């Protein structure tokens, strides 16, 4: 499992170079480089320079650029799953828990635009690096179980439909935020609005929460 950074209360990652290993420094530097330039455009020399370490340490820790890229993707997913776990959804009522999860998922992408860029690039490569990961399936299982539990509690309380697939719901929640932030510049041009502005982002987040919650209501 790739080492994970700690999380600030506002959800931002916190890095202290003096306390990080060379591997951790390389992961963070590579995340920035891959998010900016993609796998094909990223250079190992630049990653090592960003990290402030010798280039040979890249090959020592990760063998090659592709393995480093996979490790960055695993660490990125590990970070969002770790922050989701902190939501502690099982200890609040189902409707509040679902609203909290939807809002968090959207806001996480707002704060972590590099995550959007990384996933966009990986999909251009048909997900070939993620397919090789034995870490990610185990990582996502607790999240889906948590969503399933929330749905079951909500169905029992009469506030959610009983026939919602937790995986489909997760994809819908993730997709509503991902499309917005991956296309934010083109959408702003098309509709002549600054969708990157704080007010527009907040409006969109509220809309996504209401849209998903309404879809979960019993018929």
3 domain residue, yes or no: yes
Mean pLDDT of 78-92: 93
Considering the domain architecture, whether residues 147 and 91 belong to the same structural domain is answered as yes
Mean pLDDT of 112-119: 96
82 domain residue, yes or no: no
Q: What is the pLDDT of residue 55?
A: 92
Considering the domain architecture, whether residues 8 and 39 belong to the same structural domain is answered as yes
81 domain residue, yes or no: no
The parent domain of residue 61 ranges over 1-75
pTM for this prediction: 0.85
Q: What is the pLDDT of residue 137?
A: 82
Q: Give CA 37 to chain center in angstroms.
A: 19
Mean pLDDT of 154-162: 95
Considering the domain architecture, whether residues 142 and 97 belong to the same structural domain is answered as yes
Mean pLDDT of 3-8: 40
Q: Domain boundary residue among 75, 99, 126?
A: 75
Considering the domain architecture, whether residues 136 and 49 belong to the same structural domain is answered as no
Q: What is the pLDDT of residue 8?
A: 37
Look at residues 46, 116, 98 and name the one whose alpha carbon lies nearest to residue 211: 98
Quote the number of domains for the chain: 2
**C-alpha to C-alpha distances, 84 to 1, 67, 122, 175, 182, nearest whole angstrom:** 18, 26, 22, 17, 21
Considering the domain architecture, whether residues 112 and 68 belong to the same structural domain is answered as no
Confidence of residue 4 (pLDDT cuts 50, 70, 90): very low
What sign results for the dihedral spanned by CA atoms 92, 97, 100, 106? positive
Considering the domain architecture, whether residues 10 and 109 belong to the same structural domain is answered as no
Q: What is the pLDDT of residue 136?
A: 86
């Amino acid at each position: 499992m790739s080492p994970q950074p700690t999380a600030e209360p506002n959800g931002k990652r916190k890095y202290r170079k003096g306390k990080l290993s060379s591997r951790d420094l390389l992961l963070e530097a590579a995340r920035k480089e891959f998010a900016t330039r993609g796998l094909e455009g990223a250079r190992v020399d630049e990653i090592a320079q960003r990290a402030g370490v010798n280039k040979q340490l890249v090959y020592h820790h990760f063998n090659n650029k592709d393995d480093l890229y996979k490790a960055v993707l695993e660490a990125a997913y590990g970070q969002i799953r770790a922050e989701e776990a902190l939501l502690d959804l099982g200890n609040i009522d189902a409707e509040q828990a679902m609203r909290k999860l939807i809002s968090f998922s959207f806001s996480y992408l707002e704060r972590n635009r590099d995550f959007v860029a990384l996933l966009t690039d990986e999909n251009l490569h048909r997900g070939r690096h993620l397919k090789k990961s034995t870490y990610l399936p185990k990582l996502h299982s607790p999240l889906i179980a948590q969503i399933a539990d929330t749905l079951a509690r909500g169905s029992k309380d009469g506030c959610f439909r009983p026939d919602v697939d937790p995986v489909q719901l997760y994809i819908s929640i993730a997709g509503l935020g991902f499309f917005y932030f991956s296309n934010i510049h083109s959408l702003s041009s098309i509709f002549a609005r600054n969708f990157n502005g704080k007010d527009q982002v907040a409006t969109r987040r509220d809309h996504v929460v209401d849209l998903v919650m309404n879809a979960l209501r019993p018929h």
